[in-house]
Amino acid sequence: MVIGYLKKNKYLKMKRISLFQSLIIVFFGILNTVAAQKGTSELASLGIHIIPYPQEVRLGGDDFILQNGLDIILDKNATSTDLKTAELLKKSLIDDWGLTVNITRENGTKGIVLTREGVGASIKDQGYSLSTGKNGLTILAKDEDGLFYGVQTFLQLIKKHRTGPFVPGMEILDWPDVKIRAAHYDTKHHQDRASYVKSFIRDLAKYKINMLVWEWEDKLAYKSHPEIGAPGAFTMEEMKEFTAYAKDYHIELTPLVQGLGHVSFILKWPQYRDLREVEDSDWEFCPLEEGTYDLLFDLWDEAMEATPGSKYIHIGSDETFELGVCDKCQDKAKEIGNSGLYHLFAEKAAKHLKKSRKVMLWERPMGWENSGSPIKNMEPDKDLVLTEEYHYESPDFKFARQAKNMGFEMFMYDPNPGLEPLFLPYHFKMTSNRISSSPRKVKGSLKDSYDLLTASANSGLFHGMVNTSWDDSGLHNQMWMLSFATSAQYSWNATAPGLEEFENSFFQNYYGPNVKDMEELYELLNEGAYYYAHSMERNVWHHGDIGKTHLPDLPRGQYVEYDQYWNNEYSEIIKRSRTQKESMKRALQIININMGQVERNAYDFEVYQSIAKLIEHTCLTYLDLSELEYTITQAHKNAFSDRAATLRSLEKAELLIGNSLLRREKVFADLVSVWEKTRLPKGMSTPAKKYFFKMDRSRHFANRTPDMSYLIYDEQLLDMEGYLEKLRAYRKSFQLKF
């Protein structure tokens, strides 16, 4: 990287190396040697962790030492946007480093110079150069975005020293590989608080994400159809405020209001039943009903009104499971195929929307030709922006190239990390949805993203990238941050660093240099989430089958008769529960250590803790049930010889169940309390409006119940309360009679 930089760039001259910088280089000499052997980047070898990593870096020259009374120097003709960037920089330096900072337009070289004057050909769109000097640091950019991104890099370069904060001597030339870098923000099954939305925007901006595709469904208080907006939904004015706030951080807030499919939040309402493709399914609109468009146009118009200045709107429209089923659509499909129906809908939508916005939808390049029902007698609207996957069909970009030649604008679709509840399969995925079937571990989502983005970012075929974060299983949004950062890194710079270094850099960048054992923690939570998902048949339920763990047999009769089956039937999950319990013990140890010493985003560890404790509770519940059967067995054995011992065993059995229920109540209440620090109560009603709950057609894990109890719903199905009541009644009867 450094050699390539020196060969290619002549616009920056190497400055003399300061004594301070020399000491740093000597100090890190051995570390650098080891780092080089492992392929560690230049900045990481100095303990600096930048995301995304700059395109070109050259170390050396004078260090820039930040002192009180620091000036931020703007061009005399700097725009209001440039001034806002300077103000955000000033606030960060005051809040994070306790400095006194001034913003000035006076000419000078001392301080931090933010300039867009005298830009050469080496500075690309959204790009910048950054260079240090003894008395100053200069960020030079071609446009407003580039100046902002240069500032984001500068803020990540600052290091601590006993004499004060400083930036080691260096020169950077940087630009993005992909023009639009989008994060998909899915709030279909929860609503974050306004303060969290703003903090999320700030986090994305730090990593140079410049579009937020917000799938808000019923989280906007629609004026035209007020019943659709959930209780507590953001008002039009609040959404406009979010849009303006995001713009300050160089992020376009793009609304995603689902169109053809995924519309249970609309069609669950009885008054819209006649617009359904299938009368008994609220999942999908009929594309041949004019009322479909009248209703959607109202919602889309409000979505555009709520996001003034944005250039795109996303209409979703994926997973159209029932397309072509109703009588009218069956007849039309004979003429144009199911894909024809899909694009008939998309074309009518685009005709209404593209006067004001570019229209994005979940369609893959050449999907209309490669589907099971190819288009006949019509072509897709070339103004549509294609944002769905393509790489599974053609690793050589055949279909993407074909669509590009036809004139389509396309976004890379960073592979969805997964739909597992609680945590994401960053490091590995499991090949089976049952614990007892010896599942194998395969490549995780981090490697999936890395492989896709590094292969396609420099292909020249894609206008943008979109990372998806589906809310189907109700994860806390903070669990997606590593995924968002991964997409940000490799859509900005697809060549460096390597994946291992990047993950380590993320943890240090996001939590601070004192964070420990994060890769191990993620491995443990990755494994624990699969254990949780596969226990009590949770994942079986999600895929459409019904199943649940059963309770041990209740005792009956005067000799405590029972069917001894439970420990034999559930031997595999009991064994796994013992192992998993120890893993969660280690996870909680790592969490507790970090909670007391991380510099940033400590709240994440509260969420990690709530997840680990829920997984641990699941382990303990299985072990309790195992012990319950053994206790009943002991009661049975003593029934012929020692009635008092039998009674004690029955009382112990009651205590086991009672304590398990109390533990569940506490673990669940603590989890809800932690999660609701950043979000509104799930499925809440207000005095003015009652929440209307209906399970969706796709059986989303998070939509099994209106509230957060979807996380313990499977335990509730066990009815341990009823079991305890019957057990207590049997024990009292036994005590009285015998």
pLDDT in tens, 600-645: 999 999 999 999 999 999 999 999 999 999 999 999 999 989 999 9
Please check whether residues 433 and 563 belong to one and the same domain.
no
Report in angstroms the alpha-carbon separations of 317 from 78, 107, 366.
Answer: 42, 54, 16
- Domain-embedded: residue 284: yes
- Domain-embedded: residue 501: no
Entry pTM: 0.93
Decide which of 726 and 698 is more confident.
Answer: 726
Quote the pLDDT of residue 498.
95
Domain end point (choices 147, 174, 201)? 174
Quote the pLDDT of residue 12.
33
CB atoms within 10 A of CB 460: 10
Strand-strand pairing, 64-65 and 312-314: unpaired
669-689 per-position pLDDT tens digit: 999 999 999 999 999 999 999
Checking if the pLDDT of 194 tops 90, the result is yes
Instruction: Give the residue-averaged pLDDT of 263-281.
Output: 96
Quote the pLDDT of residue 699.
85
Which residues span the domain enclosing 107? 2-174
> Known catalytic residues?
319
Please check whether residues 629 and 569 belong to one and the same domain.
yes
Q: Which amino acid is at 485?
A: A
Sign of CA pseudo-dihedral 40, 45, 49, 54: negative
How many Å apart are CA 450 and CA 489, to the nearest integer? 9
CB atoms within 10 A of CB 255: 26
CB atoms within 10 A of CB 325: 16
pLDDT class for 32, splitting at 50, 70, 90?
Answer: very low
Checking if the pLDDT of 421 tops 60, the result is yes
Please check whether residues 242 and 391 belong to one and the same domain.
yes
CB atoms within 10 A of CB 3: 7
Checking if the pLDDT of 27 tops 70, the result is no
Quote the pLDDT of residue 396.
84
Instruction: Give the residue-averaged pLDDT of 715-724.
Output: 96
Please check whether residues 87 and 184 belong to one and the same domain.
no
Which residues is 180 bridged to in the sheet?
A: 464
How many Å apart are CA 190 and CA 296, to the nearest integer? 22
Give the position of tokens 């953001």.
234
- Domain-embedded: residue 186: yes
Domain end point (choices 496, 517, 546)? 496
How many Å apart are CA 13 and CA 6, to the nearest integer? 10
- Domain-embedded: residue 507: no
- Domain-embedded: residue 516: no
- Domain-embedded: residue 126: yes
Instruction: Give the residue-averaged pLDDT of 159-179.
Output: 94
Please check whether residues 339 and 429 belong to one and the same domain.
yes
For residue 133, the 8-state DSSP code is: -
Checking if the pLDDT of 24 tops 70, the result is no
Please check whether residues 161 and 216 belong to one and the same domain.
no
Strand-strand pairing, 136-141 and 128-132: antiparallel
Least confident stretch, 493-497, 692-696, 733-737: 733-737
CB atoms within 10 A of CB 59: 20
Checking if the pLDDT of 38 tops 50, the result is no
Quote the pLDDT of residue 362.
95
Please check whether residues 211 and 129 belong to one and the same domain.
no
Quote the pLDDT of residue 736.
86
Exposed/middle/buried for residue 174 (C-beta within 10 Å: 0-12, 13-18, 19+): buried
- Domain-embedded: residue 510: no
Checking if the pLDDT of 390 tops 90, the result is no
Please check whether residues 452 and 347 belong to one and the same domain.
yes
Number of domains in the chain: 3
- Domain-embedded: residue 519: no
For the chain, what percent of residues have pLDDT higher than 90? 82
Q: 313-317, 376-380, 430-434: which has the highest mean pLDDT? A: 313-317
Sign of CA pseudo-dihedral 418, 424, 430, 436: negative
Give the position of tokens 């849009």.
243
How many Å apart are CA 462 and CA 474, to the nearest integer? 30
Please check whether residues 194 and 160 belong to one and the same domain.
no
pLDDT class for 393, splitting at 50, 70, 90?
Answer: low
Please check whether residues 437 and 291 belong to one and the same domain.
yes
Checking if the pLDDT of 576 tops 80, the result is yes
For residue 134, the 8-state DSSP code is: S
Checking if the pLDDT of 3 tops 80, the result is no
Instruction: Give the residue-averaged pLDDT of 552-575.
Output: 95
Tokens of 462: 């894609």
Tokens of 725: 């009541």
Report in angstroms the alpha-carbon separations of 400 from 385, 412, 515.
Answer: 12, 10, 41
Please check whether residues 135 and 57 belong to one and the same domain.
yes
Domain end point (choices 159, 174, 189)? 174
42: domain CATH number?
A: 3.30.379.10
Please check whether residues 168 and 235 belong to one and the same domain.
no
130-143 per-position pLDDT tens digit: 999 988 999 999 99
Q: What is the mean pLDDT of the chain?
A: 91
How many Å apart are CA 292 and CA 287, to the nearest integer? 7
For residue 388, the 8-state DSSP code is: S
Quote the pLDDT of residue 581.
98
Give the position of tokens 């013992």.
578
Report in angstroms the alpha-carbon separations of 631 from 638, 678, 730, 731, 733.
Answer: 11, 43, 15, 13, 18
Cis peptide before 54 (omega within 30 of 0): no
464: domain CATH number?
A: 3.20.20.80
Exposed/middle/buried for residue 661 (C-beta within 10 Å: 0-12, 13-18, 19+): middle
DSSP, collapsed to helix, strand or coil, labels residue 382 as: coil
